[in-house]
Structure 1
Amino acid sequence: MSLNPVVRLLSFAALIAALAAPLTAHAQDNEYIFNTTGQMSDLGLSKWGLSYFNFSSAEMEYANRGGASAYIYQYLSFNYKFAPDQRFAIRPAFGTETAGVYDNFGNTRPMSTKLSDLHVTYSNYNIASFPGEFDLSGTFYLYAPTSESSQEKKWAARVRSWMILKKTLDRNWTVTYNAKPEYFFNTQKAYRSERVNVDPAGQTFTTIRANNNKMAEYDHYIEVSRFANKYFTPQLSVGWVYEWYHDSNEADSRDLVSESFKIAPSTWINVNRQLRFIVGVENQVNIRRPTNGEFRLFREQDNQYYLMTFWTIM
């Protein structure tokens, strides 16, 4: 018998609370954990480096029933450190959808792997320091439309930044404010999407829609981290996500502005200095149009499980 999603969340919170109990921690481990949260500033002695990132997620509603389709986003990052705290990277990316159920009707999709958007990044882990021991770091992204999805939408480029304002409260606690603005350079206001799916009876069908192109997105949140030991750092993120879309008479009717509230308990799992994970649950609720017309946190339909993998290869 499957557990109620709220019970699952409380169990997860209890695990985090247990991990956050007072433990003896080495200062150097503590500092290492905090320096590698967020943008993963792994700045060693070598100028050249290679790392791997993987973000895997599945909708809780379908995962709890079994056979859910999961999405896996991954890239290799070819890194060049040209200053002690600055890095440039080129990242070819790929996306995989595993076979399984993806909607309320029991429709399924086959497994597929496709090229995602190639992007270059510039990271500065020491942009500025402010009174009160606040430190600002940031990563800036430029995406090329190399994926099938981006070419379908016919956008020319996408720019994004991730700014982190960090305050270290003591040797164990850290608070950060994360801001992730994103802008799309579109060549048209709407696009046509065509998807081939399989219904519960095994019949193949095609859905065709006209959609509004996204103009911009702003994701921002506060994250509280508690260093437990050299292996675990539980954290809690709370914030909002805003999305803006072009208005077009050719697209299906939809809200041109989306506003969502999100909360995500998670924990870092540090195997060693080369291999690290984040495992968590994110609850995201559309404030303007909540599920079933009622704003409620931790509804199963609004949750997703996720796992992030960070592997420093060299």
Structure 2
Amino acid sequence: GEFVDPALPVERKPLVPLTEQDKQSNRRSPFSFGYFNWTTVNAKDYREGDGQFSSYNFVSIDYRLNYDSKVSFRPVFFLSSAGKDFFGEDVDSELAMGDAYFQYFHYNLALLPGDIGLIGALRLYVPLSDNSKDNKMLTRVQARLLFTRPLGRGIELAYHMYPGYYFYSQRGTVNYFGAAKGNKQAELEHFLELSERISQKLGFSQRVGISHEWKYDVPSQNVASKRDEFLNVSLMASYDIGSVNFRAGVINDVKLREFSPSAKAKQLPLKLFREEELQYSLMTYVRF
């Protein structure tokens, strides 16, 4: 769910992303803690009874600098159940480390003309996951910008923009099948979100956007640079119970196009909400 942070100045109280909610104004200590879990399962595999539940988790250690900003450290881990994976293969349950990150978050960067609020964050990642180590990643930097505008009582339109850049000690490695590939160089995710707050506890949101991924070329392996585009659509309901926030719904990520210097752009057929590309999603955030 989205929530109005009471710690913000009274002249501007934009809706705050789920994982940045806190009630620091009610605390004597600048420290606060949180736990985030995002569990997904493929809709088709779930219906057939052998879907793998995968979850992205982190513990958040936050230090509030003032009413407008905080810094956080977030160790990340992944948990998955037994079931069929992305390739349709049977896999066992697994616990794995993710890339931890440091974050600076600002609740009130600017109030722009047209009553548009600007929220922002900067993240610096530590390569602790097996995937990042295998790819020889040194670090990853990501900015997160959120432009918000109220449309009416309890209704808000937001534009999210998340550019990111990766740093490695080598340009490429091998993929799941053992073939040479270029490492991801940069990414940009941006989308529109319409949020409706029905009551203090219940809300709904719809998102639609596009994510772009750029990958390095590896001349020594005859691997060309590459760019992919994905359409991202989601429908969510949120519910808040005290210091616990839930957000449940469906996510549809569809590959739109592939670009490569060695070939023409490949336009893929657009079909939304196909069961094999649909995921059920549940986000839970607990504040301590």
TM over 0.5: yes
Residue 276 of structure 2 aligns to a residue whose secondary structure is helix
Name the residue aligned to 1:6.
none
Cα distance, 1:37 vs. partner? 3.5
Alignment of 1:136-147 (within 5 A): 136-147=118-129
Bigger relative contact order (CA 8 A; separation at least 6): 1
Name the residue aligned to 1:259.
229
Cα distance, 1:192 vs. partner? 3.0
Whether contact under 8 Å (1:183, 1:217) holds in the other structure is yes
Alignment of 1:175-186 (within 5 A): 175-186=157-168
Higher helix share: 1
Name the residue aligned to 1:304.
279
Distance in 2 between the 1:34 and 1:128 partners? 11
Distance in 2 between the 1:115 and 1:294 partners? 35
Pairing 1:247–2:217 present: yes
Name the residue aligned to 1:130.
112
Query: Aligned in 2, Cα 1:94/1:181: closer, same or farther, shift over 3 Å?
Result: same
Higher strand share: 2
Q: Which amino acid aligns with 2:22?
A: D
- Root-mean-square deviation over aligned CA pairs: 2.5
Distance in 2 between the 1:76 and 1:112 partners? 18
Pairing 1:275–2:244 present: yes
Pairing 1:220–2:200 present: no
Distance in 2 between the 1:116 and 1:144 partners? 9
Query: Aligned in 2, Cα 1:254/1:236: closer, same or farther, shift over 3 Å?
Result: farther
Query: Aligned in 2, Cα 1:64/1:255: closer, same or farther, shift over 3 Å?
Result: farther
Residue 15 of structure 2 aligns to a residue whose secondary structure is helix
Name the residue aligned to 1:109.
91
Cα distance, 1:244 vs. partner? 0.4
Distance in 1 between the 2:281 and 2:220 partners? 35
Name the residue aligned to 2:79.
96
Cα deviation code 1:58-110 (max 9, x no counterpart):
22232221111122111111110011110001111111122111146x41111
Name the residue aligned to 1:163.
145
Structure 1: unaligned runs, 5 residues or longer = 1-27, 195-206
Q: Percent identity?
A: 25
Whether contact under 8 Å (1:118, 1:146) holds in the other structure is yes
Whether contact under 8 Å (2:230, 2:253) holds in the other structure is yes
Cα distance, 1:225 vs. partner? 0.7
Q: Which amino acid aligns with 2:140?
A: R
Q: Which amino acid aligns with 1:90?
A: F
Distance in 1 between the 2:187 and 2:43 partners? 24
Distance in 2 between the 1:277 and 1:310 partners? 7
**TM-score normalised by the chain length of structure 2:** 0.86
Cα deviation code 1:195-243 (max 9, x no counterpart):
xxxxxxxxxxxx5343321001100000001111122110100110100
Cα distance, 1:269 vs. partner? 1.2
Distance in 2 between the 1:254 and 1:305 partners? 35
Aligned length: 269
1:79 corresponds, among 54, 62, 75, to 62
